[in-house]
């Protein structure tokens, strides 16, 4: 039992430091979990302190640390699920818990009452955040975490009720530290605490991975997907559908006349305009430079052409002087999938050829696959300065 008691603080301290390390990359929830586990580690140190430290003092300190641990973990849980609750009610619970421990330990000298009050209040510190987040789990890891949180609360309450009913709680603090109750408390708290740490760490780590994956798959200027992100998302969908390729006309002139900062502003504004035509399941990406690709799963060629014309009209009606440049135009190529296509890039190749035909025909227009210079006339627009 003594070796087990020494092992507990080490395990929880290791988890606390791990969370703090991960918190360098995920600052929303990981630091709260880290501080909570470090408080729990200090709480488990109390029973193994030398006898020069009075038992009541160790008991009060441990109760306070466990209250703080569950409060910090509760805040970590809220942060993980992006939920918010007022801080002051939980701070009040901690204050009431400390006061109850002081009264039970030093005035009433009743370990049973001190344990019951502490278990109840620590459970409340944790169950309130758990109830606030239980409907917002976004994946298996978060659902497992919520389940373990309720297991922590159930263990605390059931264990205390059972031991109280059986009247196995010792009447003095020194005896309590060597009692079966103390050992049971440490054992169940450790097992469930480790499970909760692993589940929380999995949630935090997955979030860090998703964040870096998102950064790697997004264009920083427009916030749209880049080619890597487009490949991943479009690859998860059927290739049946249509592709629209958009390219800004005479973009080099914009950079030469207004500067590269203005060119970046034009690209960002065009990306915003392209997102204004909502299509279910659409995948929009910037493929580099001034070229954009939109994949519309399950959409026929004529419907895709209508989407492209709507985008073209928005670009023509935009007041580009707001960002300090003259009128901007763009050309579009549209293509739809065929039964023999093996990948989305075969559809894109035909859309690229339609785009080239639109450029050859004079730019500022929408061409579908197979159209040539005799295609539709462009909508009136001012020439690029």
What pLDDT score was predicted for residue 207? 87
What pLDDT score was predicted for residue 1? 47
Q: Are residues 35 and 178 in the same domain?
A: yes
Q: Give the pLDDT confidence of 43-73 residue by residue, as tens digits.
A: 888 766 766 666 677 778 888 898 899 899 9
Q: Are residues 234 and 185 in the same domain?
A: no
Radius of gyration, alpha carbons of the chain: 31
Domain range for 339 is 227-368
| % of the chain beyond a pLDDT of 70 | 82
Q: Would the pLDDT of 279 be above 90?
A: no
For residue 284, the surrounding DSSP H or E stretch is strand 283-286
CATH number for the domain including 240? 3.30.70.270
Mean pLDDT on 169-191: 60
Task: Answer yes or no: is 49 within a domain.
Answer: yes
pLDDT band of residue 6 (cuts 50, 70, 90) is low
Q: Are residues 146 and 294 in the same domain?
A: no
Q: Are residues 253 and 358 in the same domain?
A: yes
For residue 366, the surrounding DSSP H or E stretch is strand 366-368
Give catalytic residues, as residue numbers.
Answer: 290
Q: Give the pLDDT confidence of 299-323 residue by residue, as tens digits.
A: 999 999 999 999 999 999 999 999 9
Q: CA 17 to CA 346: how far, in whole Å?
A: 51
Q: Which of 195, 216, 237 is the last residue of a domain?
A: 216
On average, the pLDDT of the chain sits at 84
Q: Are residues 154 and 40 in the same domain?
A: yes
In which region does residue 62 sit, left (phi positive, over 0), alpha (psi from -120 to 50) or beta (all else)?
alpha
Q: Would the pLDDT of 283 be above 70?
A: yes
With CA atoms as reference, report the closest residue to 125 among 77, 193, 61, 56.
77
What pLDDT score was predicted for residue 209? 87
What pLDDT score was predicted for residue 202? 93
Mean pLDDT on 122-143: 87
Task: Answer yes or no: is 43 within a domain.
Answer: yes
CA dihedral 43, 45, 50, 53 (to 10 degrees): -20
What pLDDT score was predicted for residue 377? 47
pLDDT band of residue 121 (cuts 50, 70, 90) is confident
In this prediction the pTM is 0.66
Q: How many domains does the chain divide into?
A: 2
Task: Answer yes or no: is 377 within a domain.
Answer: no
Q: 319 by DSSP, 3-state: which?
A: coil
Q: Would the pLDDT of 383 be above 70?
A: no
Mean pLDDT on 170-184: 55
């Amino acid at each position: 039992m003594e070796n087990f008691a020494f092992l507990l603080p080490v395990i929880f301290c290791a988890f606390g430091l791990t969370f703090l390390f991960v918190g360098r990359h995920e600052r929303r929830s990981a630091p709260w979990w880290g501080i909570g586990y470090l408080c729990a580690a200090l709480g488990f140190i109390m029973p193994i302190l030398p006898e020069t430290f009075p038992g009541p003092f160790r008991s009060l300190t441990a109760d306070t640390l466990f209250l703080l641990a569950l409060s910090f973990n509760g805040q970590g849980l809220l942060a993980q699920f992006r939920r918010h609750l007022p801080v002051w009610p939980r701070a009040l619970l901690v204050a009431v818990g400390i006061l109850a421990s002081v009264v039970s330990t030093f005035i009433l000298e009743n370990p049973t009452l001190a344990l019951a009050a502490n278990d109840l209040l620590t459970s409340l510190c944790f169950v309130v955040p758990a109830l606030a987040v239980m409907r917002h789990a976004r994946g298996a890891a978060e659902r497992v975490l919520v389940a373990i949180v309720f297991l922590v609360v159930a263990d605390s309450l059931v264990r205390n009720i059972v031991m109280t009913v059986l009247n196995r709680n010792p009447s003095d603090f020194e005896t309590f530290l060597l009692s079966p109750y103390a050992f049971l408390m440490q054992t169940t708290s450790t097992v469930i605490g480790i499970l909760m740490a692993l589940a929380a760490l999995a949630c935090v780590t997955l979030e860090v991975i998703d964040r870096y994956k998102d950064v790697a798959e997004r264009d920083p200027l427009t916030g749209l997907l880049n080619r890597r992100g487009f490949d991943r998302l479009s690859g998860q969908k059927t290739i049946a559908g249509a592709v629209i390729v958009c390219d800004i006309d005479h973009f080099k002139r914009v950079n030469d006349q207004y500067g590269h900062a203005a060119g970046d502003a034009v690209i960002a504004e065009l990306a915003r305009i392209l997102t204004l035509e909502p299509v279910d399941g659409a995948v929009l990406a910037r493929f580099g430079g001034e070229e954009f690709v939109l994949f519309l799963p399950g959409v026929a060629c004529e419907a895709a052409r209508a989407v492209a014309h709507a985008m073209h009209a928005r670009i023509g009606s935009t007041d580009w002087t707001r960002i300090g440049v003259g009128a901007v135009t763009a050309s579009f190529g549209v293509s739809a999938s065929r039964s023999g296509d093996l990948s989305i890039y075969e559809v894109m190749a035909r859309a690229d050829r339609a785009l080239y035909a639109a450029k050859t025909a004079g730019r500022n227009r929408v061409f579908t696959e197979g159209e040539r210079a005799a295609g539709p006339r462009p909508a009136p627009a001012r020439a690029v300065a």
